[in-house]
Chains A and B, each alone.
Chain A
Amino acid sequence: EVQLVESGGGVVRPGESLRLSCGASGFTFDDYGMTWVRQAPGKGLEWVSGINWNGASTTYAESVKGRFTISRDNAKKSLYLQMNSLRAEDTALYYCARNTMIRGVINYLDYWGQGTLVTVSS
């Protein structure tokens, strides 16, 4: 059974940093690209960042580019999101998801974790 478990969320002040983790099990982790998606309270889904199977290719939403860094450790079957210079508008539930790729871009997200909540408030 595919499982994705996020951790690392919490309450931080504007300008501070946080590192999210996502542990994977039930599938061959390094066969898949991975993605972070967030959802602000009462709002829709927003794609945040994606990484290919070996970490050589990463992509970011404009809203987080230069502040967030996605990475992975295939030996530990883990995905990470380093979030720096956090803003109030980064407050959201952050999901990690497994994605398939086609022609080098994300195709669909077939398994999602339950999310970890990040709150940025002074």
Chain B
Amino acid sequence: QSVLTQPPSVSAAPGQKVTISCSGSSSNIGNNYVSWYQQLPGTAPKLLIYDNTKRPSGIPDRFSGSKSGTSATLGITGLQTGDEADYYCGTWDSSLSAEVFGTGSKVTVL
């Protein structure tokens, strides 16, 4: 049972925007950096956002991250069919002394 809660699914039409929330607590999101991972069907996860808001080289600026208090949000603008994937948030939990991941959100392009 994950300590980080995400909506199971989000969807939108091509070109539109979606946001995915990640809710935690002061022991994890509230006091540590958040990262986001994209997992395309049948592939390994890929780092999308790190340190709450930063994008690794090669990640388009259609992907953005933010954090406020004990929650974080991933935004995807200009939605494309290639964005259909599972998305996970991740952070360190200081109480558990463990890395924790969100429950995962499936993005569907209508």
Taking Cβ atoms with an 8 Å cutoff, the residues of A that contact B are: 35, 37, 44-47, 50, 59-62, 95, 100, 102, 105-115
Contact = CB atoms under 8 A, between A and B. Distances in A.
A108 B33 contact: yes
Given A45-B88, A59-B98, A105-B32, 6 more contacts: A44-B86, A45-B39, A45-B104, A60-B98, A61-B98, A109-B37
A35 B35 CA distance: 15
B90 A109 contact: yes
Given A47-B100, A105-B92, A110 B47 contact: yes
30 contacts: A44-B86, A44-B88, A44-B104, A45-B37, A45-B90, A47-B90, A47-B100, A50-B99, A59-B97, A59-B98, A60-B98, A61-B98, A95-B44, A105-B32, A106-B92, A106-B99, A107-B35, A107-B51, A108-B35, A108-B50, A109-B37, A109-B45, A109-B47, A109-B90, A109-B99, A110-B50, A110-B56, A112-B44, A112-B45, A113-B44
B4 to A, nearest CB: 10
Interface string B34-55: 0101010001111100110000
By secondary structure, the A interface counts as strand
Interface residues of B, number: 28
Interface of B: 2, 32-33, 35, 37, 39, 43-47, 50-51, 56, 86, 88, 90, 92, 94, 96-104
Contacts of B86: 44
B96 to A, nearest CB: 8
Contact of B101 (A47, A50, A60, A112): A47
Contacts of A109: 35, 37, 45, 47, 90, 99
A92 to B, nearest CB: 13
